[in-house]
Amino acid sequence: MGDPRLGSRLKAVRTEAGLTQAELADRAGVSRKTINTVENGVFIPSTLLALSLAKALGTTVEALFYLTD
Amino acid sequence: MSNPTVPEATDEIVVLLRAERRRQGRERFGVMAIVTGILTGGVTLTLSKVGSISDGGASVGFAIAAVLGLLGAATALLWRRGLAARRLEGLIGRRDRLQRVRNDRIYAGSITGWGLVAVGLSPMWRIVQGQADGDDFGIAAATALSPLFVVMSVAGWEGMAQLNRRWLEDEVTRDIRRRALSLGFIVLMPAMTALFVIGLWERDWVVMGFPATLMLAASVAGLRFVWLDQQAEGGEGG
């Protein structure tokens, strides 16, 4: 389930890196639907998943997610 | 911000997902019609044995069952898996591919289980009347086990899930599972309570209604799981 307090730059960073959802999913070892739900704010990733995504994109968790308030 | 070479692959997945969803919807309608036909036939057979309906009524019931079965079979055949499904499977990863297979199995179990419930009605009636033979007990046991198969599939306890645990288990799946099983439980509680109340007056109906009640909760959980998983797949854009 999503939470409006969590902002995400995942889609922007992914497209900047030249990756499709499926490619990022493959790199991070998750399903494409995981990427889709996180990008759309439907699902809040755990710390582990956020770190995996940041590692797969060669960035930090703070660069991918932020608090909206 | 966007790289023009990148979204194309994702866009193709989105287009294929939409096409697949339309096809699956029609195919699933076909499967549902077949199972409704079996259910209608099973209920008609049981009611005619109990003597609750006339021969004419039974004929109408069997005719409806036959029409539903034929309509369902034709629909499922016309919209069976084709090129789009195979192309989609080539584009998505193994994880997503296996999760789609799991969803198909859960959907099939959630719907065909009702067919088994219908088939089990007559044997169960003979059991409660004290006229059963060995086969009747076997069929009744199979009827009661079919909801369990659905619940085990949703919970990730059956063979395929255990074998491919690495690919099938992830955070989104666990979240979807929790929500699906919660809804199944919410349906199960009042349904079992209602069955208990009915049993205070009509004990035979508790035995007859037990597999259907379990199947109701299991199929609600199964269909909710499939629906939430499809929602998670998206299709709105890359």
- Whether the Cβ atoms of residue B109 and residue B155 lie closer than 8 Å to each other: no
pLDDT confidence bin for B45, thresholds 50/70/90: confident
**With contacts defined as CB-CB under 8 Å, which chain A residues touch B99?**
31, 33
Give tens-digit pLDDT for A3-51. 888 999 999 999 999 998 889 998 999 999 999 999 988 899 999 999 9
Q: How far apart are CA A14 and CA A35, in angstroms?
A: 10
**With contacts defined as CB-CB under 8 Å, which chain B residues touch A36?**
232-234
Q: How far apart are CA B152 and CA B221, in angstroms?
A: 11
A2: contact with B, CB 8 A cutoff: no
- Bridge partners (DSSP) of residue A67 are A6
Q: Which is nearest to A8 in space by CA: A32, A49, A18? A: A49
Domains of chain A, start order: 6-58 (1.10.260.40)
At residue B6, the pLDDT reads 40
Asked if B233 and A25 come within 8 Å (Cβ–Cβ), the reply is no
At residue B196, the pLDDT reads 95
Phi, psi of B186, deg, nearest 5? -65, -35
* DSSP H stretches of helix in B7-93: 7-50, 55-78, 83-91
Q: Chain B interface, mutation test: which of A32, A42, A49, A52, most B Cβ atoms within 10 Å?
A: A32
Give tens-digit pLDDT for B65-89. 999 999 988 988 888 877 778 887 7
At residue B10, the pLDDT reads 60
Strand positions, DSSP E, B82-236: none
Give tens-digit pLDDT for B196-225. 999 999 888 898 899 999 999 999 999 999
Q: How far apart are CA B156 and CA B172, in angstroms?
A: 13
Report the chain B residue with the minimal C-alpha distance to residue A12.
Answer: B1
Residues of B with CB under 8 A from a CB of A: 1-3, 5-7, 9-10, 13, 91-93, 95-96, 99, 170-173, 175, 229, 231-234, 236, 238
User: What pTM was computed for the model?
Assistant: 0.82
Q: What percent of chain B has pLDDT over 70?
A: 94
At residue B3, the pLDDT reads 41
At residue B8, the pLDDT reads 45
At residue B28, the pLDDT reads 85
Interface confidence, given as ipTM, is 0.88
pLDDT confidence bin for B235, thresholds 50/70/90: low
Give tens-digit pLDDT for B99-116. 988 998 999 999 989 988
- Whether the Cβ atoms of residue B6 and residue B87 lie closer than 8 Å to each other: no
Report the chain B residue with the minimal C-alpha distance to residue A34.
Answer: B172
**With contacts defined as CB-CB under 8 Å, which chain B residues touch A15?**
1-3, 6-7
